[in-house]
Amino acid sequence: QVQLVESGGGLVKPGGSLRLSCAASGFTFSDYYMTWIRQAPGKGLEWISYTSGSGFTIYYADSVKGRFTISRDNTKNSLYLQMNSLRAEDTAVYYCVRGLDFYDYVLTYWGQGTLVTVSS
Amino acid sequence: DIQMTQSPSSLSASVGDRVTITCRASQSNNNYLNWYQQKPGKAPKLLIYAASILQSGVPSRFSGSGSGTDFTLTVSSLQPEDFATYYCQQSYSIPLTFGGGTKVEIK
């Protein structure tokens, strides 16, 4: 069965960096677009980034463009999110998400999330 | 960007009630409209995609309808496990965008 497990969250100071990882299993990782979604405490869902199966097509939300970098290693079935210049408003649970077959943007399989807290 | 507006932001209902949540898009999204359920401390769960297709394993009391810019999620008979927050999301264009959520609470 599809499984997504995020790691790498934690407490970081404003201006700091953090790298999130997502280990995927149960499917052919390179066949699927992958997405990062975040949710600030008590708030709604926000799409932040997406990468094609090959990693050649990448998009970012304006809120993270220039600060965050999505990448993937298909040999390791892993997705990453490098987060630099972190701000208090980046505090959130970050989810790694896979789409449905033939519907890449239908967010079907979610990890358990990893909490990132940006605070001095 | 396509803005998604959900209403109401919260509602109180009883077990057995019929509940309807609406979602309006700022422009047509060709029915690329999805609904998710989220319980506290858990990741969202896909309920309905392409406006009206029930995701595998989701109870048939959930249904979706609508087209163009106006969409509806209906729960025909609310069950105790349905008390949660519901989100709509457009999957027509990047950036993917969500409605603000509807919290369904016990009356």
Q: Is the pLDDT of residue A102 over 90?
A: no
pLDDT score, position A100: 87
User: What are the Cα distances from residue A13, in Å, to A10, A16, B16?
Assistant: 10, 5, 48
The greatest distance separating any two alpha carbons of chain B, rounded to the nearest whole angstrom, comes to: 38
Least confident of A94-98, A101-105, B69-73: A101-105
Beta bridge partners of B13: B106
Listed as ranges, residues in chain B with pLDDT below 70 are: none
Count CB atoms within 10 A of the CB of residue B97. 22
User: What are the Cα distances from residue B56, in Å, to A17, B34, B95?
Assistant: 39, 14, 26
pLDDT score, position A104: 85
pLDDT in tens, A47-77: 999 999 999 999 999 999 999 999 999 999 9
pLDDT score, position A87: 98
pLDDT score, position A103: 82
| Overall size of chain A counted in residues | 120
Contacts of B12 (CB under 8 A, 6+ apart): B105, B106, B107
What's the CA gap between A44 and A31, in Å, rounded?
A: 29
What's the CA gap between B97 and A60, in Å, rounded?
A: 12
- Mutating which of B91, B93, B97 best tests the A interface, going by the most A Cβ atoms within 10 A? B91
- Mutating which of A4, A22, A38, A45 best tests the B interface, going by the most B Cβ atoms within 10 A? A45
Chain B nearest-CA distance from A74, in A, is: 23
Q: Is the pLDDT of residue A90 over 90?
A: yes
Q: Is the pLDDT of residue A114 over 90?
A: yes
Q: Which residues of B50-63 are buried (b: 16+ CB within 10 A; e: fewer)?
A: ebbebbeebeeebb
User: What are the Cα distances from residue B66, in Å, to B22, B32, B53?
Assistant: 9, 11, 12
Cβ of A105 within 8 Å of Cβ of B32? The answer is yes
Do residues B45 and B62 touch, judged by C-beta distance below 8 A?
A: no
Rounded average pLDDT over A89-105: 93
